[in-house]
Structure formats: structure tokens, C-alpha cells
Structure 1
């Protein structure tokens, strides 16, 4: 049976009190519409049509993809003004539920997805005569007796295409809101002799719509709790599943511990025996076995990603930016920022430092307050630091620059020229734009003996 999917995404969402189109508000890190489109892709339809209206340009730009068409509905006069199959503001519908509805239709029947809710306020009620579905009455137009009904229409239906086209053409707006309701075609189907059937969803969460910030927040907590439960069932230890957010994809190995208030975005992979402290934000990163991420650490790999090696210690209050690649047992301490840099095994930058566009060798000790001056106002330049180099506190390494294996850079140095292997450089290696200080050989030796701790 050929399948066409129509997604209704034209509504303004007045109760959201926002200038953004309702379907572009985020749930678990993705727009409401993106969730629905993901379900639609699993149904393998011949084509998917998205009906847009308010903020059409923004909605269209947010959801490009092969086989998708956008149709603009102007003005927005209720759901019957355009055909719908899925609703862009009902984001969590499962593909299995949608398939069951399509099978119930079979190309011959009008099939409605329904559910019994403890509190059906705001939803259209299903009118029955025994097992027969007679129609749907919108909440605003229902009588007190009809308000007492708990079975509601979820906004999703499947119908024979040819009959549906004729039925839509007969819709009228003689109701309290002067709108066209697609739900009116249920009564038309009964009058036309088209069987009307109901396919009931079993999970309330997957059919809940979003019409206000409060509803969006409630659905967010349901989604996050479900994700937390799945992780805990797989063995992840969450200090408090109510204070935990995954806004993308989180993959965990065994014996992972995650403290309260952590947020995961994009794609995050966590190895076994990893500990993540409280209130960390981690996005687009891979963390190897045995690493420890101390509290209040911010990691965001964006497109380049961040790699953290086995046994590494990160934070607290550290920041890893795109392109940070940390080897095994690397230490990045408090208020250290690393961007587009590679640190080999055992390298340490324990406090108050910046490493940008750098290649750092094994066992390097990078002192507090030291920075790589990688930007000259026009271009970025790279710093290369060999194995076993010691950089003292409060140093400025003016790139492009190379420090050979075993070099020692005295504290307070501003270095603008390469340092050979095993060299001992002090403040007399200053940039030509800085005033060099004259020191006795004894003072110079003391300077070169400084070490960061």
C-alpha cells in the first residue's frame, strides 16, 4: 500500500508566548518537528508533506531533506484547512504506533489514533455507539456530558486518499471558533458508509501535545526520566535521575557514575569506569575508560569533537573546546582551557592556563598562568612542545614556536623564538618587541630552575 505522510506544522502556538514557531521549540535537544520527522522517516513513505504557516521560512530551513515537500497554509484556519496525518507538536509518537494505525486503515477505513486520559482537558472527545466510532467533538464545542468522556483523539489519523480529498472539500466552519476542523470528517465517513475504526495507543507520553511552556517542560521531564531509566537499567549509576539531561545521544560503558546536574548534548561516548562530577556540561565528546571529569567542567567538541584518553583527569572548572585531543593520563586542572590542541600521554596543565593550536608531547608540565599566544590579529599559528618540557608559571609562548624535547622555560618568560632540545630559556629570550632584562648568570640559572606545580 502506497503511503503519503502529511505533518501539520502551521500553528503559531499563541500560548507559548514566543516569536519562534511552536514546532521549533526544543525537546531533549531537538525541535518538536525534528522528532516527528524522525518517526516519519521510519515509516518509509513515498513522500512526506509538511504543512507550514507561521514562521514558514524558519520551519522550512530547519528541516531540509530528500523527499520532503513544504506547503504553506495561509491563513491558519484550523486543522481542516490542510490535511494532516501527524502533528508537528506531538513529538514523541513511535513508529510502531503509527504503523499499527496505518494497518488499521488498510486503504479502506478511516482510522483514528485514540487514548484514554485521566485528564482529557483540551482534547477532542471520541463519540461512540458501542464499538462504532460516530464522531469527534472538540473540547470547546463539547457538552458537559461529553466533557466527562475520557477517550480522546490524539490528532493522528490515516484515511483512504481519494475519499479524504472529497471529504476535505466539504468541510465547513460553523463552530464556536469559526475554524475548519479536520475532525469533522469522522461524521462524514459515517454518513458516507466509510468504516471508522480506532487504534488505541498505550503510552500517554507518546501522544501528548505541546501548547504551552508548562506542557513543554512537563514533556521534557518525562523524556529525561525515560532516558535515565534506560541508562540505569544498563548499569549506569545516576546520583539523581531527576537531575539529569540528555539532549542528544549518550552511550555508556560499564560502571559509569554520573553525579547530579549533568547535561549531555550532541553525541557523547563514555567508556567504562568513568566518573563524571556534578554540574558538568559535555557535548560531542568521547571519554575513554577510567577518566575522571571533576565537577563544573565544560566540554564542547562542536564539529571537530573532543577526545579524552584513558585515565585522564579533567577539572574542576576546566574547559575543553573543539579539537582538544587528550592522551592517556593527561591532567587538565581548574580554569584551564584547551582548544584545537593535542596533548600526549601524561602531559599536565593543572591550573590557570591556556593551550590553543598546540601540539604537546609526553610528560610535559605546563605551568600556572601560561598561555600560547596563537593569534597575531590576522592568522592562527601553532605551538609545538616536545616531550618532557617544563614550562614555568606565567609564560607567554608566541606562536609559531617549537620547544624541543626536555627544554625548560623559566617562569615569567615571553618566548618568541624556538627553544632547542634540553635548552634552558629565561626572560632574555623575550620577543624583540619587549625589553630584555639583564640578569647575572646566577639569576638566569635560578630562573631556568623554576618549575610549575
Structure 2
């Protein structure tokens, strides 16, 4: 099979972004613009993916260096789109193959659309991805003779009549690799910008008798580029709405307001899931059947089992995929925080201002108010009192606390790890526990209460 090269142009500075960060590294839905393009091309079977860098080249290359089948070439200085692709010529494999040219700042190109371009090219034709717009200002215009494409005229070089053409060139094409190399070697910069335009290869293809096809993109959103923070924000909302619609249509998810919903990774949902406003899902998140997510929650890399309820303003962060989990029918929040390694069983209750880190809570355990559980193993039906903490860090090392089933921990207790609380034990409120508590016993460790009669409280300005 003839090799497929994919060339991604990512050399531009992005002046209108008004940022020190290279434009293609700005993020949309939690992933860089260039990262989106690379992800869309992973299934196309390319022999090589060549990223053309320039402004911030080292930063851009470092950000995506781990992607498979990737190579880098640099465009220094930047003298136009044709000049950019010229830099990639030595890296192109197989004159009998196909070269697909994409833009690193057009992040939402779909794999299916890119594949259509490659298929239309078939190693014999020049295939251009086009889009019809109500206002194509800034786009090169597709000049046709009937159905045949004869040229692309850049907006700045177009006549008033040509600017009335609504079909624009998206900047993406697929060409026979051998012919593309020949055309690139013939480019000239005698235009208004003094640049080498990649679009000039269209006229060369026509002159060579190579058919030029205009392949219409199915959707405007997937061919929109990012040149400013305003355009980035607009594309973010378009993308988020697409994801919301896919979840609602495909899985029946009830999303209170798609305009206040963000997925920055992957969100998998069962049936009858409800998501309130202003929720953010990052990394890999799985929501089981009947899960309800309250307003203003942030959930990252977590598995939430069927029937669980995440109340408002809760923050769950597993750090890596599957790094936190919530069992069936559990109740979390409001204002709860689950950190990496939090493993909650069925029907666990974690209430307001409770933090759980690297701890396992068995079925029915409860920590309802103002508490901390770190590096702990908590048995079934434990009741963990308000204001209680596990003191798991000694200044150098972390230690675990073991709490057996049916333990009752009173309010404002400190369990200093390593320590074990046996099943069925009770810890009196205000206790500081440093030693093992045997099963079924009551442990109280606090200073004796003293009452002083006739004591007078100091007053301001009094004698010392």
C-alpha cells in the first residue's frame, strides 16, 4: 500500500492570541489545539505525521513528542503556507503515496472527514476541503469552471467579484506526494503578501491535467480555526454543545443546560443520569445508571457507581484514570472533597467539608461533617464524628489508620497513625488516640475537666 504522509502546520505565532504560549498549545476542552489534530489522525494509518514548527518550536515539539509516528521540521522564518510545506518535503515518504495537509490551529477536524480527503485523492487527484459560509472573509475563494476547481484565490488578492464567492478553502488538502513535491518546487511569492502560498498548487495541478476536487466539509465547526481568544471561546462552546447533545441523544442524559457543561476528557454515562449546571468533567469519568450530579461540581478521573448522588459544590479528583471511586447509592457532599485513592463502598455518606484521601470506606460508613480521613481503612457502618481527623503524617512518612466495622468515633478526635481501632469500639469525643483500641471497648483520652469557682475573666485595660 502506498504510504500516507500527514503534514500538520503548526509554526505560526498567533499574534492575536496576545500570549507567550504558542497558539497551537492553547487548550480546547482540556487538550491543546495541536493535540486534537493529532488525536484525529491516529486512526488514519499514516506512515509518518510531520509537524511543522516555528514560533516556540522547542515548546511545541516537547508538548507532543510522545505521539506515535511523529516527526518534526522547522520553518524559520515563516514565509507562508507553501514555504511551510516545502520544509516537510525531505521528510515525505514515497512519491507514489498521498500527502494530507492539515492545520494545527483547526482542532476539530474529524477523522472521517480527513479520511474522505485521502480517499478522494486516491494518489491521482488533488482534493481540497471546502466550506460554504455566509461570510467567508479571510478564506481563500474556490474558483470553479462548472464543477471543476480551477484555482484558489487568497482573500487579500481576490477581486471584488471573487470576494462574493461563498465557497472557501479550509487550508486542508490531500495530494499525490510526487506531484506535490514538484509543485512546491515551482512556487513563487509574487503576491500582495510576498509569501509562498500553498494554494498556488491548484493552478499547477490544473496545468498538469491533474483533476482538482472540492470536497465539502459536512459541518462548519470542524473546519473553524483559532486565531484569537474570542474564537477559542466560541469553538469551546460549540464543542461542548456537541458533546452534550451526543450524551443526551445517545444515552438519555439529562443535562440541565448544555451552555453550562464542560467535558475535558472522556465522560461515559449510563441511563437516567442527571447533571446540573456548571459541572466540569476532566480526564476519564464514568457515571453509572441513575447517578445525579449537583450544580458546580468538578469531577476528574473517577468512577461513580449506579444510584450515587454527588451533591452541589463537591470536588472529586482521582489524579489518574480510576484514581477515585464512589460506590452504589453513596451520598457525597455538598462541599465534599475526594482526593486520589479515595475508594468509597456502597451507601457511604461523605458530608459537607469532609476530605478523603488514599482511604477505603466500606459499605454504609459515614463521615457527615467537617472531617479528614487520610491513609485510612474504614470498616462497614462506621460513624466518624464531626471535626475528627486521622493524623497520618509524622513529618517524614505517611502511616495508616485501621478502623474496624461498627466503630463510633466521637466529635473532635485525633487518631494518630499508625493505629488500629477494633470492630465495635467507641472513641469518646475530644480524644487523642495513639494506641490500639481493642474491639468493643470505649477509649477516652482527654484532659480532666476542671471548674474554678469565682474566676474573673480579664478585661481590656486592666492591670497585669
Output the TM-score relative to the length of structure 2.
0.90
Query: Given the alignment of the two structures, is residue 20 of structure 1 paired with residue 36 of structure 2, yes or no?
Result: no
Structure 1 residues 157-201: Cα deviation after superposition (integer angstroms, max 9, x where no partner): 111111211211222222222222111111222223322221111
User: 2:247 maps to what in 1?
Assistant: 231
Structure 1 residues 138-158: Cα deviation after superposition (integer angstroms, max 9, x where no partner): 122222222211101011111
Distance 1:143 1:319 in 2: 61
SS class of match (2:235)? helix
Distance 1:146 1:300 in 2: 53
User: 1:96 maps to what in 2?
Assistant: 112
User: 2:170 maps to what in 1?
Assistant: 154
User: 1:449 maps to what in 2?
Assistant: none
Query: Given the alignment of the two structures, is residue 5 of structure 1 paired with residue 6 of structure 2, yes or no?
Result: yes
CA contact (8 A) 1:89 1:210 kept: yes
SS class of match (2:354)? strand
SS class of match (1:85)? strand
Structure 1 residue 423 displacement after superposition: 2.1
SS class of match (2:258)? coil
User: 1:78 maps to what in 2?
Assistant: 80
The counterpart of 1:312, out of the listed 306, 330, 336, is 330
The counterpart of 1:257, out of the listed 274, 277, 281, is 274
User: 1:108 maps to what in 2?
Assistant: 124
Distance 1:80 1:395 in 2: 70
Classify 1:17/1:324 alpha carbon distance in 2 versus 1 (closer, same or farther; 3 Å).
same
Report matched runs for 1:271-290 at 5 Å.
271-290=288-307
SS class of match (2:370)? strand
Distance 1:103 1:325 in 2: 48
Structure 1 residues 181-222: Cα deviation after superposition (integer angstroms, max 9, x where no partner): 111111222223322221111211111111111111111111
User: 1:202 maps to what in 2?
Assistant: 218
Structure 1 runs not aligned, ≥5 long: 429-435, 441-453
Q: How many residues align?
A: 433
CA contact (8 A) 1:427 1:437 kept: no
Query: Given the alignment of the two structures, is residue 126 of structure 1 paired with residue 128 of structure 2, yes or no?
Result: no
> Bigger shift: 332-341 or 401-410?
401-410
Distance 1:381 1:140 in 2: 68
Distance 1:391 1:439 in 2: 24
> Bigger shift: 326-335 or 239-248?
239-248
Structure 1 residues 339-368: Cα deviation after superposition (integer angstroms, max 9, x where no partner): 000000111000101111111111111111
> Bigger shift: 58-67 or 308-317?
58-67
User: 2:59 maps to what in 1?
Assistant: 58
Query: Given the alignment of the two structures, is residue 301 of structure 1 paired with residue 301 of structure 2, yes or no?
Result: no
CA contact (8 A) 1:25 1:32 kept: yes
User: 1:448 maps to what in 2?
Assistant: none
Structure 1 residue 439 displacement after superposition: 8.4
CA contact (8 A) 2:78 2:84 kept: no
Report matched runs for 1:230-379 at 5 Å.
230-233=246-249, 234-303=251-320, 305-379=323-397
Structure 1 residues 321-350: Cα deviation after superposition (integer angstroms, max 9, x where no partner): 000000000000000000000000111000
Distance 1:324 1:22 in 2: 37
Distance 1:242 1:394 in 2: 42
CA contact (8 A) 1:309 1:330 kept: yes
CA contact (8 A) 2:342 2:358 kept: yes
CA contact (8 A) 2:256 2:277 kept: yes
Distance 1:77 1:411 in 2: 74
Query: Given the alignment of the two structures, is residue 214 of structure 1 paired with residue 230 of structure 2, yes or no?
Result: yes
Distance 1:57 1:360 in 2: 48
Distance 1:127 1:389 in 2: 79
Distance 1:17 1:299 in 2: 33
Output the TM-score relative to the length of structure 1.
0.93
Structure 1 residues 385-408: Cα deviation after superposition (integer angstroms, max 9, x where no partner): 111111111111111111111111
